[in-house]
Amino acid sequence: MSQLVQIAVLDDYQGVARQFADWTGVQAQADVTVFRDHLAEEAAIIARLQPFQAVCVMRERTPLPRTVLAALPNLKLVVSTGSRNAAIDEAACQELGIELRHTGYVMSGAPEHTWALLLGVARHLAPESSGLRANSPIWQTTVGVDLAGKTLGIVGLGHIGSKIAQYAHAFGMRVVAWSPNLTAEKAAAAGAELMSKEALFRQADFVTIHLVLSARSRGSVDAAALALMKPTAYLVNTSRGPLVDEAALVDALTTRRIAGAALDVFDQEPLPADHPFRTLPNVLATPHLSYVTEATYRVFYQDTVTALLDWLAKTVH
């Protein structure tokens, strides 16, 4: 049996972990196993990870709660891409003696993808492109929505939300914003007008969510908030699925209470095969691609390799 350190790289969906970083130094000292598939059941995750001393996770694709961490006696290191990972129990890592390291991050991907989705849902790109590819006898089936002159409501005016405000101004939109601790001064500095949550949902033609997921923010966009939206308004969420009450959103979309939604994040990822978001005609959905860019992956995997080499230098004698 090999005495080399065993390292697992999880959820490499595209099979590009080795493409974006040089793993030669790591592989000289350890056996590296890359998994391209995704496991959702805790028991299956525990069984897979039993042999490994180090596990590299991609964002929050595979959660590592206390129940999983405690069942992995060989585990000594977790390297997570991104500056934080809400799916890892940090307190459990400390108590169990598991070192937790994070990588850098590239900020441009999320706002760019958000704007792509907003434009896509406004111009009905998904159904129009599908019709063209299917050789539909009807050449045009929808009428797009102009952005110029419309109101964009930003829920969460942090780094990403502020960048979205810049994009919106470039397209001639009015920008309003709300978050629990946002002040009028901070909103104005980002080029937005502070207003109440209720007023934002009533006035906005597009609402885009950019809150950090926490116990307080979970379900911030609930049935009551959705009921305030115009029937011509669209919801965009590229932050985290649980920020929105998913059942309430499905109902609002099914009954056409709102015009549509552009979504990159979901309560459960990958999205179940029978989920309504896969088939609702007024939904533009992507599989959590906001951070999936060449620049971001390069930082993620190169920083992962650097963390592994540093840890191996202290561990392998």
Which sequence spans correspond to the domains of the chain?
5-106+294-315, 109-285
Q: Looking at residues 162-185, what average pLDDT do you find?
A: 97
Average pLDDT, the chain: 96
260-269 pLDDT per residue, tens = 999 999 999 9
Give the C-alpha separation, 235 to 114, whole Å: 11
CATH second-level architecture of 109-285? 3-Layer(aba) Sandwich (3.40)
Q: Looking at residues 93-115, what average pLDDT do you find?
A: 97
The radius of gyration of the chain's CA atoms, rounded to the nearest angstrom, is 22
Catalytic residue ranges: 240, 269, 288
Give the C-alpha separation, 213 to 87, whole Å: 11
Give the C-alpha separation, 186 to 168, whole Å: 17
- Please give the pLDDT value at position 317: 57
Tokens 């609002």, residue located: 252
Residue 141 has pLDDT above 90, yes or no: yes
Residue 167 has pLDDT above 90, yes or no: yes
Give the C-alpha separation, 256 to 87, whole Å: 33
Helix, strand, or coil (residue 274):
coil
Cα 297 vs. chain centroid, distance in angstroms?
14
Q: Looking at residues 283-294, what average pLDDT do you find?
A: 97
Sorting pLDDT into bands at 50, 70 and 90, what band is 276?
very high
What angle, 0 to 180 degrees and rounded to 10, lies between the N-to-C axes of helices 109-122 and 159-170?
A: 50
Give the domain 5-106+294-315 fold: Rossmann fold (3.40.50)
Give the C-alpha separation, 238 to 30, whole Å: 36
- Please give the pLDDT value at position 1: 37
Sorting pLDDT into bands at 50, 70 and 90, what band is 217?
very high
State the amino acid at position 232 in one-letter form.
Answer: T
Give the C-alpha separation, 217 to 174, whole Å: 25
- Please give the pLDDT value at position 303: 98
Q: Looking at residues 59-78, what average pLDDT do you find?
A: 97
- Please give the pLDDT value at position 316: 72
43-61 pLDDT per residue, tens = 999 999 999 999 999 999 9
Asked if 136 and 159 touch (Cβ cutoff 8 Å), the reply is: no
Domain 5-106+294-315 and domain 109-285, same fold? Reply is yes
Residue 294 has pLDDT above 70, yes or no: yes
pTM: 0.94
30-36 — which CB contacts under 8 Å span 24+ positions?
Answer: 30/4, 30/5, 30/6, 30/54, 30/308, 30/312, 30/316, 31/2, 31/4, 31/5, 31/6, 31/7, 32/7, 33/6, 33/7, 33/8, 33/9, 34/9, 35/8, 35/9, 35/10, 35/11, 36/11, 36/12
109-138 pLDDT per residue, tens = 999 999 999 999 999 999 999 999 999 999
Q: Looking at residues 174-184, what average pLDDT do you find?
A: 97
15-41 pLDDT per residue, tens = 999 999 999 999 999 999 999 999 999
